[in-house]
Structure 1
Amino acid sequence: MKSFLAGAPVIKMGLSEDLTITKGKQKGYNKVQMDDCSFHPSIDLKEFDNNRVLGIKPTEGELVVMTYHIGGENLINLPFRLTHRIEFSSTRNLELHLKLRCELAPSAHAVNVGLKIHVPRETGRITQQFSCPGQSAILKQEEKCMLWQIKRIEGGSEAASRFMLISQDKKLLNSEEVGPATLDFELSNHVCSGLQVRFLRVFEREHSYLPQRWIRYITVPDNYLFKLTTTE
């Protein structure tokens, strides 16, 4: 939360009513489920257990209100799925086919999508073909990786590409050296956990101004990894 409110306001934040904290117990049927969560020490939790409402007395600036963990049986639907195929195109070069599907709802989208793929150390250059505009790729020789970039991808759509990894000095490329691949992105209007803010109310007795409230849903990855295998 970022606050620029004057005085000493109290903010009531209502979260999803069907939020369940399992704490290692058997998974239920609620839409939003978490293994565990923690809150900033200043957060008032009196109404949280019964009504999923947080009491916040923010200082000016940024505050991490809540952190949570989802895993095991509560694993969420991941926002991207990658399919791939690695083949030898000649006695030494490799052909890499990639298809990245965005599993979000049509109302959401991802921007600044980048797939970083480790390539064989003998790779000298690459060629590429893309399924649609807004894509690019570069070979980073010093890092021995290739970066496939997509400016924007809509929920429910996919981007495809075909790369030729060309050997330098006519040396054989080792297909086992392709991958892993790491994905970077920014999701707008989407939270993977399904957690929603129902309301955001500001109470301030000393000031009569009408505060502006803006709720933005955004997701960025910390470590989103794909393992690539060679086609037999």
Structure 2
Amino acid sequence: MKSYLSGNPEIRLALNEDLSIGRGGGSIYDYRSSSGSGAVVLDDCNFHESVRLDSFDMDRTLALVPPDGEFPVMNYRMTQEFKPPFRINCLIEEAGQLKAEVIIKVRAEFPSNITANTVVVQMPVPKYTARASFELEPGAVGQRTDFKESNKKLEWGLKKIVGGSEHTLRAKLTFSQESHANITKEAGPVSMTFTIPMYNVSRLQVKYLQIAKKSSSYNPYRWVRYVTQANSYVARI
């Protein structure tokens, strides 16, 4: 939360009503519960020292008088399986004595009203790769390709990916020597970096944010923004 409100007003913040929290350890501000199972299940969580949990058990709301500036209201941990936002398929086929073809397909597994930005796909290729040429889908816009010769990696950049869409890259590799091993063992894994605004893998959400007592001395602006970022999303070939 970022707060620059004058007069130290109380803030009420509501989370998912179907939130369930399992047992966990930690600081004195840890919240522990053994109650039921909800659609959103956290292993454990802890709160900023300004947060009051008077009605948290009843309606999953937090009350706090926020300090000035930026601070974490809540930290949480979850280890249950979740659906990754992307599905990656990769195929490598030999195309001659000193050649091979790589096909990478990326499918967005999130709703069509959400868009991922600044997506970069990278794939290490055999160290004896001398050149790489690329083929994008017909009509592809906002995409770039590059062969990083210094570290022998293919790089595919996509300005944006709309949920539900699928994109394909074909790369033709030329080797400086004949391979005496399985090429697939010398290539990969495929990795991605991306940012997805207004998307939350854990499904934990802020239902509303209220200022308990408004003042004529300021005009507050309230907004909630979700961002999912990945710096090392990896898929094995």
Q: Please, what TM-score do these two structures have when normalized by structure 1?
A: 0.87
| CA contact 2:193–2:233 (8 Å) conserved in 1 | yes
2:226 to 199, 217, 221: 217
Indicate if the aligned counterparts of 2:192 and 2:231 stay in contact, CA closer than 8 A. no
Q: Structure 2: which amino acid aligns with 1:122?
A: Y
Deviations, residues 87-140 of structure 1 (Å, cap 9, x unaligned): 111112221111100011111110111112111111222111112222111122
Q: Does 1:95 align with 2:101?
A: yes
Letter in 1 for 2:173: L
Separation in structure 1 between the aligned mates of residue 14 and residue 187 of structure 2, nearest angstrom: 46
Partner of 1:82: 88
Segment of structure 1 superposing worse, 42-51 or 152-161: 42-51
Mean CA deviation greater in 22-31 or 82-91? 22-31
Let me know the Cα RMSD of the aligned residues.
2.3
Cα deviation for residue 14 of structure 1 reads 0.4
Q: Deviation above 4 Å: which 4+ runs of structure 1?
A: 24-29, 204-208
Is 1:179 matched up with 2:188? yes
- 1:171 is displaced (CA, Å) by 4.4
- 1:8–1:103 CA distance, 2 compared to 1 (3 A): same
- Give the % identical residues: 35
**Paired residue secondary structure (1:49):** helix
- Once the two structures are TM-superposed, the CA of residue 9 in structure 1 deviates from its matched residue by 2.1
Structure 1 counterpart of 2:70, which letter?
E
- After TM superposition, the structure 1 = structure 2 runs for residues 139-154 of structure 1, keeping only pairs within 5 Å, are 139-154=147-162
| Alignment match, 2:205 | 196
Q: Distance in 2 between matches of 1:116 and 1:28?
A: 42
Shifted more, 110-119 versus 35-44: the winner is 35-44
Q: How does 1:25-174 map to 2 (within 5 A)?
A: 30-71=38-79, 74-131=80-137, 132-167=140-175, 169-172=176-179, 174=183
TM-score normalised according to structure 2 size: 0.86
- Deviation larger for 105-114 or 197-206: 197-206
Q: Which runs of 5+ in 2 are unaligned?
A: 25-32
Secondary structure of the 2:199 match is coil
- Map Cα deviations across residues 161-186 of structure 1 (whole Å, 9 max, x no partner): 1111222x344384312111221111
Counterpart residue identity of residue 6, structure 1: S
- 5+ residue gaps, structure 1, are none
* Deviation sequence 1:12-33 (CA, Å, 0-9, x none): 1101111111338999663212
Superposed displacement of residue 151, structure 1: 0.7
Residue of structure 1 in register with 2:28 after alignment: none
Deviation at 1:7, TM superposition (A): 2.8
SS in 2 for 1:50: helix
Aligned length: 225
